[in-house]
Structure 1
Amino acid sequence: MSKRAVLEVIALGVEDAVAAQAGGADRLELVTDMAADGLTPPVETFAGIRAAVDIDLRVMLRLADGFAAGDVGRLVRVARELRDAGADEFVLGFLDADGGVDLEAVERVVSELDGCRWTFHRAIDRAADRDALRKQLDGMPGLDTYLTAGSPTGVDDGLAVLLTEAVRAGEPGYEQRILVGGGLRLAHVPTLLTAGIDAFHIGGAARPHGWEGPVSVGAVAEWRAVLDGVS
């Protein structure tokens, strides 16, 4: 029997988290301020969600819109506060002005995470060279996932890239799980599963009434059913 595909849902608060878990999500990505594509939530938000659900939580470490690290000292302090509150999985990713990975910023933040598992997020889709970024991050403690659409504009445009990278699974820089998100639709799922991709990330797709509305149990359950039915 094949291993169940991972479904990760963006949660902005306790209501989202509870609905996502009820619908069959395996993991949450915790963020605030989707107008800025998702920033670090307050520690209190993390603590409330952690108390309300028992599935895995990955907390965003990002202080401002864009992919520059900004104030790395502050990022490190925020990471420490979240660790102290019990957070043990994270999401981060920083680029320099030329579109290369900001290795110094990533290393400083990751050193504060003390081996916790983390996702390098869609900054990879804005990188000047995806392959170079992956190879530079190869062996980084805790890095187990890349969240990617294959393209800055979403899965429709990035599908070929995702399928190409899936074929390279296990090569240096390609050992990490591909978590597909960013304009992901149910119609993409069969092709991705067939290629061996087994992790899916949804935000707006879990919210029939848009970002102003909460996560829908039914919407998450529909994704869960498709993932379980096809895999």
Structure 2
Amino acid sequence: MLLEVCVDSLASARAAIAGGADRLELCSALLAGGLTPYTELLRQIRHESDVAVRCLIRPRAGDFLYMPEEIEMMCAQITELRSAGANGFVIGCLNPDGTLDCTATARLAKAANSAGLTLHRAIDVSADPLQTYRDAAALGIDTVLTSGAAASCVQGVDVLCSLLAERDRTNGPEVLIGAGVNAGVIRQLSAALPGARAYHMSGKVELESRMVFRREGVPMGLPGLDEWHIQQTDTASVRAARQVLDDLA
């Protein structure tokens, strides 16, 4: 039973590893849904641990319809992160009609040079998740991260069930279940999705900023974002999920 934890800082990586994560998805800017991580952050993690790390390759927030220059940049990011110790990459591009852009995604896969590959949650906003899964399989992608085309994995059970059946029928990519995952959700889904064997979580808690002086009314990003609390992976949350998976195994 695989437990992948999504992290965007060294502190979160340490917490995830301490909690028993099998693999990290490394990114930056989780509040924006996750963007390509800094190479130096990967090097910091590599200095401390040989845990498996797959790096998200996403150059900006928003949709997954990319310009040619963005695809070029993503290929360069893959090359750089591969040289810094990434074991794999989390990728995906869509066409305007909601189908998987197989040409662009294949370019990213080629740049990864035989590293592990996850199709990210572009599948959840694609026109036909089952067909997108099949297209990903044809490209040699070994894992698909998905909520079942819903806001949370609990809401996406029906689609997840179909994807797991397709996995078993074709020996296709692993179905990595994400969005709202915690120990309780894993336990809840184990009955509805007995074939599930891979989960993705962030396990975040809000930590109070250590800043004493706080000037209010000057947001650093979108108005309403809170600069005085930091989101960080919680070791206890990861450990609890790990325990449930071990019990199920």
Q: What is the TM-score with the length of structure 2 in the denominator?
A: 0.83
Cα deviation, residue 8, structure 1? 0.7
2:21 to 19, 22, 25: 25
Moved over 6 A (4+): none
- Corresponding residue for residue 30 of structure 2: 34
Unaligned segments of structure 2, at least 5 residues: 208-228
Identity of matched residues, %: 31
1:158 to 131, 156, 159: 156
2:41 to 32, 45, 49: 45
Amino acid at match of 1:144: D
- Corresponding residue for residue 167 of structure 1: 165
Cα deviation, residue 111, structure 1? 0.9
Cα deviation, residue 171, structure 1? 3.0
SS in 2 for 1:163: helix
The one-character-per-residue Cα deviations of 1:46-74 (angstroms, maximum 9, x if unpaired) are 11112222211010011011222341111
The separation in 1 between residues aligned to 2:232 and 2:190, in whole angstroms, is: 28
The answer as to whether partners of 1:163 and 1:192 remain within 8 angstroms in 2 is: no
Structure of greater Rg? 2
The answer as to whether partners of 1:90 and 1:119 remain within 8 angstroms in 2 is: yes
1:218 equivalenced with 2:242 (yes/no): no
The answer as to whether partners of 1:27 and 1:56 remain within 8 angstroms in 2 is: yes
Amino acid at match of 2:187: P
Cα deviation, residue 191, structure 1? 5.0
- Corresponding residue for residue 144 of structure 2: 146
The separation in 2 between residues aligned to 1:165 and 1:107, in whole angstroms, is: 21
Cα deviation, residue 98, structure 1? 1.2
SS in 2 for 1:59: strand
- Corresponding residue for residue 180 of structure 1: 177
Amino acid at match of 1:225: Q
- Corresponding residue for residue 98 of structure 1: 97
Unaligned segments of structure 1, at least 5 residues: none
The one-character-per-residue Cα deviations of 1:10-40 (angstroms, maximum 9, x if unpaired) are 1112111111111111110000011220000
Indicate the RMSD between aligned Cα atoms, in angstroms.
Answer: 1.8
Flag the 1:185–1:214 CA change in 2: closer, same or farther, 3 A.
closer
The separation in 2 between residues aligned to 1:123 and 1:152, in whole angstroms, is: 12
The separation in 2 between residues aligned to 1:223 and 1:18, in whole angstroms, is: 16
Amino acid at match of 1:222: A
The answer as to whether partners of 1:121 and 1:146 remain within 8 angstroms in 2 is: yes
- Corresponding residue for residue 115 of structure 1: 114
SS in 1 for 2:6: strand
The separation in 1 between residues aligned to 2:44 and 2:116, in whole angstroms, is: 21
The answer as to whether partners of 2:183 and 2:240 remain within 8 angstroms in 1 is: no
Amino acid at match of 1:32: S
Q: What is the TM-score with the length of structure 1 in the denominator?
A: 0.89
Report how many aligned residue pairs link the two structures.
223
- Corresponding residue for residue 186 of structure 2: 189
- Corresponding residue for residue 130 of structure 1: 129
SS in 1 for 2:150: coil
Cα deviation, residue 86, structure 1? 2.4
Amino acid at match of 1:24: G
Amino acid at match of 2:161: L
The answer as to whether partners of 1:61 and 1:91 remain within 8 angstroms in 2 is: yes
